[in-house]
Structure formats: structure tokens, C-alpha cells
Structure 1
């Protein structure tokens, strides 16, 4: 053994030094007599007074000394330890002790059984360590994680990491209500779920990001676990090493269906479903609408066949909306994404005709 001190008590002083610096203590139990022995630091860890004189001469101490200082809620741990010792098995447990001054500390205890030459279980030996700071740190991390997870649930968000080429390496946090399957969104799997019209935008953004190493934002239509496309905003930021290289990218994906629908509606766009519903309220045929807009019936039928917003038909949609509005129809989009129509005369009722995207089930 390495002796850090000289003299007759070199070994004892070395062990004591190691215990005090590392914050641990040693103990042993004679399984025949039930008597237990502690090192001096074990007494301190348990909040007990260190006896005067050689510790090996102390008599009358049994396993019950643990029970006397253990927090009442952790007494089942002590019972569990005794059962394990009776089976001759090693163990590791944590429990809390209450010191005479009322302080509560958390201990980690390790133990195992030693047998004699005949194979008989003779002693149990082990170590104690004060792990209060570690437990508090873990608890704080759990609280922080729970706070972030709550935020993720509130905004239907996903937190992920990626390489500089957009290859996603991990899906860190998502709301408890999420139906997203992690494996579908790792690697380049997420890109295969981006709407074909937006996929090139995503590729270009990541190619640029690898060169610039700066944060960027992407609004993409992404196919969710329900197989419908949803607008999601991707906030992407790099973690930079000291040498200027990118260690990894961290991103937040947030559902923005309502925002996109409202923006498109504000721009004057209406859906094919809204046009059909408006004609129904007015009792107009496609020919009636064609006469009032100057558009062909074929064009109107193609526009109406598109249930969602058709940005490519914006000029025609503005003509259609003006004609229907002049005839007494108003259009609306609810925050949840439902689009609808209603007649403007008094006593009219809203008519919801459908959703462009399902805002309840979202992708990662």
C-alpha cells in the first residue's frame, strides 16, 4: 500500500486522509455477531460523533445504527439491503440521513459479502459516499429538462442536432403528445418528408449554412406521422469550436400552420373549397361565376379542384374573391387552420369548409 505518512500509524493516517479528501467512509459487518464497524469518516458522514480511542474496540454497534439515522421515507432501503446481504449478494443503493443539526444528506452505499476458506459468509464490507451535490445536480437537470419539454409541448416543437450538411444526428426533446417516430427524422430521413416543392429550398439553405456558419430559419411543408403536410419553422444554429469549426448544429422545429394560412389568406388567397362553398350559398353555377370574373369555366373548375391555396393562380383568385365578396360573401381562417365562408347579411352563420393542414398532429 502507498503510505502518504510516516510512523506507526502511517496506514491509518493515509486511509483517513483519502477518506476525508474523497468524501467517503468504510464499514464492515461481522455476519456472525452482527456487530458493525466504521471508519472515522463514516461516523462523520452519518452525522455520528466519532468515538474516542481505537475504533476497532467499539462494541455494541449493529446494522440498526443505519436505521437510526436514515430518513423515515428511506427505511425500506435499509430493509432491502439486509435482505440482499442475507443472500450474499453485492449491492448499491442511495438513502438519506438526518444529522443531529437537522441537515439532510444523501448517501450512496456500496457493499458486498466476503466468504472464508470454507465458503461461509463471514463479513460484509462496503463504502459510504456523500452524493448530495450530485443528486441535487441531477435533480436540477431534470427540472430544466422538464421545463424545456413543457415549452416544446406548448409550441408543438422538436429539438434536434445535425451535422453541417443537414444530416440529423439526434432528436433530443419533443412534446409528450408527439406521435413522431424518432427514426423517421434522423439522418436525411427528415428531408424525404419535406414537400417536393420545398426540398430544394432546404438543400440550398443547408449548403449555404455550411459555408457561412451562421444561424438561419426555414419555413417548410413537412409530412407528419398522419401523412399530411404541415408548415413547420426550422430555427437552426451552429455550435462553434474554439478553432472556428462547427461542432454540431442545434435546431428547433415548430408548427406554424396557422401563421402560414393566415399569411396566405391576408394576401388575398382563398381555397378551392371556399369558392365551392361560396357558390353554394349564392346558388351560383360555375357559368355564373365565369360571367362575373371573365374567367373561363375550365379555369374555374381547375382552381376549385384544388382544395388548398393555389399560389400559382393568385391573379385569378383575386378576381374570384372580389366577385364573391361583392355578391355578399366573406371569407375567414380560424387560428386552428380551418378555412370557411359566411354570407355578410345579418343573422348569417359561419360555414367551415375544411383545413388546409391538420394542426393537431404534426411532424418533427
Structure 2
């Protein structure tokens, strides 16, 4: 039997290749005779704009431009006529009334007299890219708005521990940019809280894990305010740290906080609140009873009843024991009392929590 010869691939024409490129890349080619104003369009331009490929006048393309972007198109036209390459983006309104974002790119060809005679270029449909960019910008605006609403300070730090400029920190604390950049932030913290905050940060930085600490921060006017400082590492795909981002939230000036612990009336501390405080500390009733030097039955009755009557001395003892262990009571504008837990040094915590059995 005669051997069948292998089939040779059918060569594609340049027109077929051009059509494929235009469809896949969502582009179209155009050329303008700058002396006569005659416009030539490829199939790709016709598909993107909805114009007929037989369109020969620049005015037809100008009529598609969104009214708000007409000045941009006029700038493009003027630039081409004077021999300046163009690369601008604007919206077009297709005949079916759909709006598309396009990029209009072109180069100018000069004649023998060095005057512009022709401009060649392409139109790229960038609607999807533009929508993605707008979505990112909207999300960024939401993020920035949220941060501004809750944080007094936003800061960034490189993976090697170099602090990036933070005008908000310098404004709040009165520190110079040089002090902040050199890592002198701890000097703005109350001396009693400084070692604990710095130690917590050193541990988080070393382990590349989230950081959280509550401490008193000295403001530019010299007053101390309770703040909550938090930071997280932003990771690369390989799990290495790209940067750190942190927030400092002023706990005494937020809308939810009115007073500090010593301003609260003792009877505002309810049974459920004491139970929540114990949960934060991982304390049993006997633990709290030993720390406060009161009877466990009184605490149990107080918690289970939702706030049974206790003598003022007993209430004060319970509250003092919890505060010594790191619990802060805060009054909210709604009239409710909330809790904030700021870990104390291990030595102090051992002193405030006796070893007792459940």
C-alpha cells in the first residue's frame, strides 16, 4: 500500500493572525491621514466601538466619546495634529448605549517636510482592568476610613525593624521623626508599662506573630492616656515578612468610653461582669476568692443571681483583686460597664493569683 504523506499545516494569512490577536487582546488598529482627516479602522476597532468598519471620518469616533471625557479626546486630536504621540484613556458610549473604558495610543509619521502626515495606533478595551482598579480604590478608601475612625496612630515597619515615617505618632506623642525612626517609641510609654510593652513587642517580632499590648502613652501635652497598641506582620507568599502594620487606639477618647476604672461606682459591677473577668484571667471561683480574701460562696451567689447584694468591702476586695491581675473596668456611653484585659508581668500575676485547687 502506498504510504500516506503527512499533512502539511495550512498557513494562516496575516489577516487571520491579526483578527486572532485583536480578539484575544481586545484591541483594534486605526490609522488617520492627518491632512485629509480620513480614518481607517480594523475589524477590532469596529468590534470594540460598534462603528462600521467602513467609517472614514474622525468625527464618528469623536461622537462616541463620553461627554465628560470630550476634553480628553480633543487633547488627543490636537496632539496628533502637532506631531505628539498619545497614550490616553477615556470612556466611549457604544451605539447600544453600553459604556466602555478604552486606552487610545498612537504615534505620528512625519512627511518629507517634517510635518505630521499620518498617525497610526491602537485602541485597547481596558474596562475590566479599570473596574478592578476602581474596586481596589474603593476598598482602600473603606479601609482608610475605618482606620481613621478607630485609630489615633497608624505605623509601618520594615522586616528588619526600621520604622517608616509616622506623622500621626509624632503628632500624638510629640516625638521627633528621628526619635520614632530610631525605635525610641518605648520612651513615650509610662515607665510602669514600658518593660511589659517592649517585651511583648520583642516576642511578637521574633516569632512573627500578631502583637497586642495596652499601656499608658504620653501625649504631646504631657498627659498619659490608656491606648491599645496592635500590629500584624504582612507576609509574602513564601511566609516571610514583607512589612509590619500597626495601630494605636486611644481607649480613653473613643466614643464608647467615658470614664476610667476609679470613676465607676462599685454597684455598677455586676455578677456576669465578674464571671467574664474570671474567664479572661482563666480563674476559678476559688482563685478569685483567695486573691480577694472573701468567701467563695459569696462570689458564687453574686454571679449566679446576676448581682446579689454584697457588702461594699467585699465588692471593693473583688474589684481590687481583678484590677491587680490586669482587668480594667470601663464605663460606656450606653451606661453599661465593659472590660479590658491588659496582661501584667508574670511576677505580679503570680502574686495576685494564689495557688488554689478548683
Q: TM-score when scaled to structure 1? A: 0.59
- Asked if structure 2 preserves the Cα contact closer than 8 Å seen for 1:171 and 1:182, the reply is no
Superposed CA deviations along residues 221-242 of structure 1, whole A, max 9, x for unmatched, are 3445666544331112234556
- Asked if structure 1 preserves the Cα contact closer than 8 Å seen for 2:227 and 2:252, the reply is yes
Residue of structure 1 aligned with 2:145, choices 125, 141, 150: 150
Residue of structure 2 aligned with 1:15, choices 11, 15, 18: 18
Q: Does 1:134 align with 2:140?
A: no
- Asked if structure 2 preserves the Cα contact closer than 8 Å seen for 1:28 and 1:37, the reply is yes
Residue of structure 2 aligned with 1:88, choices 83, 86, 95: 83
C-alpha distance in structure 1 between counterparts of 2:183 and 2:136, whole Å:
30
In the other structure, the counterpart of 1:55 is none
Residue of structure 1 aligned with 2:226, choices 231, 238, 242: 231
Q: Gaps spanning 5+ residues in structure 1: where? A: 52-59, 269-317, 319-332, 337-364
Superposed CA deviations along residues 183-219 of structure 1, whole A, max 9, x for unmatched, are 5655625445444554433321122113433323112
C-alpha distance in structure 2 between counterparts of 1:122 and 1:181, whole Å:
62
Judging changes above 3 Å, is the alpha-carbon distance between structure 1 residues 128 and 181 closer, same or farther for their aligned structure 2 residues?
farther
C-alpha distance in structure 2 between counterparts of 1:6 and 1:230, whole Å:
77
In the other structure, the counterpart of 1:212 is 207
C-alpha distance in structure 1 between counterparts of 2:159 and 2:85, whole Å:
47
RMSD over aligned CA atoms reads: 3.8
C-alpha distance in structure 2 between counterparts of 1:181 and 1:93, whole Å:
45
C-alpha distance in structure 2 between counterparts of 1:76 and 1:178, whole Å:
45
Superposed CA deviations along residues 106-165 of structure 1, whole A, max 9, x for unmatched, are 111112322124312111122211111111112112211221222223224444333466
- Asked if structure 1 preserves the Cα contact closer than 8 Å seen for 2:210 and 2:233, the reply is yes
Q: Does 1:64 align with 2:50?
A: no
Higher RCO (C-alpha 8 Å, min separation 6): 1
- Asked if structure 2 preserves the Cα contact closer than 8 Å seen for 1:160 and 1:251, the reply is yes
- Asked if structure 2 preserves the Cα contact closer than 8 Å seen for 1:165 and 1:207, the reply is no
161-170 or 97-106: bigger deviation: 161-170
In the other structure, the counterpart of 2:46 is 43
- Asked if structure 2 preserves the Cα contact closer than 8 Å seen for 1:157 and 1:254, the reply is yes
In the other structure, the counterpart of 2:327 is none
C-alpha distance in structure 2 between counterparts of 1:72 and 1:62, whole Å:
19
SS in 2 for 1:160: strand
Q: Does 1:6 align with 2:11?
A: yes
C-alpha distance in structure 1 between counterparts of 2:172 and 2:202, whole Å:
29
17-26 or 29-38: bigger deviation: 17-26
C-alpha distance in structure 2 between counterparts of 1:225 and 1:64, whole Å:
62
Q: Gaps spanning 5+ residues in structure 2: where? A: 1-8, 267-315, 317-329, 334-358
Judging changes above 3 Å, is the alpha-carbon distance between structure 1 residues 28 and 264 closer, same or farther for their aligned structure 2 residues?
farther
89-98 or 179-188: bigger deviation: 179-188
Q: TM-score when scaled to structure 2? A: 0.60
Q: CA deviation at 1:247?
A: 3.8
1:118-197 maps to which residues of 2 (within 5 A)? 118-163=113-158, 166-169=161-164, 183=177, 185-186=180-181, 188=183, 190-197=185-192
**Count of equivalent residues:** 258
In the other structure, the counterpart of 1:31 is 34
SS in 2 for 1:238: strand
Judging changes above 3 Å, is the alpha-carbon distance between structure 1 residues 264 and 164 closer, same or farther for their aligned structure 2 residues?
farther
1:105-120 maps to which residues of 2 (within 5 A)? 105-120=100-115
- Asked if structure 1 preserves the Cα contact closer than 8 Å seen for 2:215 and 2:227, the reply is yes
